[in-house]
Amino acid sequence: MANLKKHRTFNSLFVLFSLLSMGVLQWMGFFLFTDDLAQEIIRDTSIRIGVANVFVVLLTYLGFRLFQKPLLSWVGVSIVMIPGLIIAINNFPISAYLAQRATITQPVHGVWLYAIECGSIGLMEEILFRGVILVVLMQHFPKDRAGHFAAILVSSAIFGLVHLLNLFAGTSFPDTLLQVGYSFLMGCLWAVVYLATRNLAFPMILHALYNFCGSVMFRMGTVVDRFDAITIVITVILALAVTLFYLVVFRRLKKDTVESIYVLIPEAEK
């Protein structure tokens, strides 16, 4: 009962913080930033935060445990997070930026607002794809390592395929297929982080940082020749090393840790 109370308290604090964030964003939109880009970001971010709040309240009522205290020490959590952070930072066009082929053209406040928007994307998508879809699949797949692995693959495939919708936004077919592919891989990474830490806040952070680093220069400026030879080589090496690392993390997951994610809170305890 004590753990249940802590879980509900954390979720309540999350909802309260989200509502306060929405209020601050609306105030910024009214009084500080009135340009079209800022207004668009504030509107879209507020909608995502609002939808995320609805999901958290509903899922808490249903017995989902989205934010639990990690069983790992903070050193252990850091070890799990660092490779994901490296991948996220590498998503920034570092080589192009250092060679002055990437430039920010929007005002500084636009960059900060975009960082908040990326946070809202990570928030909403992690709740949906890792907090709901992954958990539901784990409940229905075999309750062993093979079943858990299959749930990760299927939920990540769904996450990747959803990005096909970008075709309707004008994204070219090759670019969309590339996005589907790396979204699948990143979905697998964030799923393992969630299973290892038992707390969606950690994959949310990685997701938000990955999106921000990968798209801020394109949304807020211009980039020429992003994928030069150096970038491709470093990205491939990092991808292979990090994939191996998270496969090891997955294989070392304890059964009780994984079960605490997909076994819902009993109805009698709600």
Q: What is the pLDDT of residues 92-119, one digit of tens each?
A: 999 999 999 999 998 888 899 999 999 9
d(CA 210, CA 194): 16
- pLDDT at position 206 is 98
d(CA 253, CA 257): 7
Q: Is the pLDDT of residue 193 over 90?
A: yes
- pLDDT at position 188 is 97
**β-pair partners for 222:** 103
Q: Please state the domain extents for the chain.
A: 72-269
Q: Is the pLDDT of residue 218 over 50?
A: yes
Q: What is the mean pLDDT of the chain?
A: 88
Tokens 């990005």 appear where?
A: 163
What stretch of H or E contains 103?
strand 102-104
This prediction's pTM: 0.90
d(CA 187, CA 162): 12
Q: What is the per-residue pLDDT across 21-37, written as a single tens digit (0 to 9) for each? A: 767 777 766 667 777 88
